[in-house]
A and B are shown apart, each in its own frame.
Chain A
């Protein structure tokens, strides 16, 4: 009888472990992107920033010091900045290219350009940035 229950437990574990590889999802929602005709400003990251929460909880991401990010458009949630010299993705079971979404110089989440969606941080994060005018 004990053997049977052990076998059942192993089967159950196998089933759930098998599933577990594909359940790490990033929460995001559709958001309307409005591009800006020219890039009127850009930001420079004054220090490196490591993000470990929200969409970066599974795999942390580092915004490197000295990298440049172009203001390319807006969504209702905030302004979108696309990296000029750093690849940025967010990752769970799948990997998504991502741009920064800022509001009042704080990072509030990520814009996923292929999905046309916004993935929010749990709370805004002040970034060490320098805002510059022009493209």
Chain B
């Protein structure tokens, strides 16, 4: 009986960790906080929670894929100032709209809410000070294309 409990616990732990980001930590990568090209702006995308880690929807920024919302992971994208719409889809599509100004850095956090067949991954715009604390332990998702 004890063995079964241990086995089930390991299985649950394994399942919750499966799908988490594995790259270097934000604090180790130390990415620049602002866009490298003049006239551009930077958006950081991150997801702190391991809840629903197996769900890793594509992240679309103005209809172009920029990465995946991977649990405990982060990535960033430099874009021209203007309107931004970030979309993620699981069983439904969730959108976040915001304005990106020149030289600005913005932070989008992904969270998971309950769905019917699958959880819903949605983006939220976060205050810079809050985001910088939350993103510290997230790991860099290098391959943005897949």
Contacts and interface: CB of A to CB of B under 8 A. Distances in A.
Q: What is the interface residue range for chain A against chain B?
A: 10 to 19
Contacts of B127: 86-87
Contacts of A96: 96-98
A50 B95 CA distance: 24
Interface stretch (B18-26, B31-39, B83-91): B83-91
Given A95-B122, A97-B99, A14 B116 contact: yes
A97 B94 contact: no
B108 to A, nearest CB: 10
B96 A95 contact: yes
A87 B126 CA distance: 6
A114 B92 contact: no
Contact of A94 (B97, B117, B125): B97
Interface in B115-131: 115-117, 120, 122-127
A93 B125 contact: no
6 A-B pairs with least C-beta separation: A97-B98, A114-B97, A94-B95, A95-B96, A114-B83, A22-B92
Contacts of A112: 97
A21 B91 contact: yes
A113 interface: yes
Contacts of B93: 22
Interface of B: 83-85, 91-99, 115-117, 120, 122-127
Contacts of A1: none
Interface string A81-115: 00000110101011111000000000000001111
A89 B125 contact: yes
Given A21-B92, A87-B126, 18 more contacts: A17-B116, A18-B116, A21-B115, A21-B116, A22-B92, A87-B125, A89-B98, A91-B124, A95-B94, A95-B95, A95-B96, A95-B97, A95-B122, A96-B97, A96-B98, A97-B98, A114-B84, A115-B97
A70 to B, nearest CB: 12
A54 B57 CA distance: 31
Contacts of A17: 116
A113 to B, nearest CB: 5
A21 B126 CA distance: 23
Contact of B124 (A18, A95, A114): A95
Contacts of B99: 97, 113-114
Contacts of B115: 21
Contacts of B94: 93-95
Contacts of B125: 87, 89, 95, 97
A93 B92 contact: yes
A18 to B, nearest CB: 5
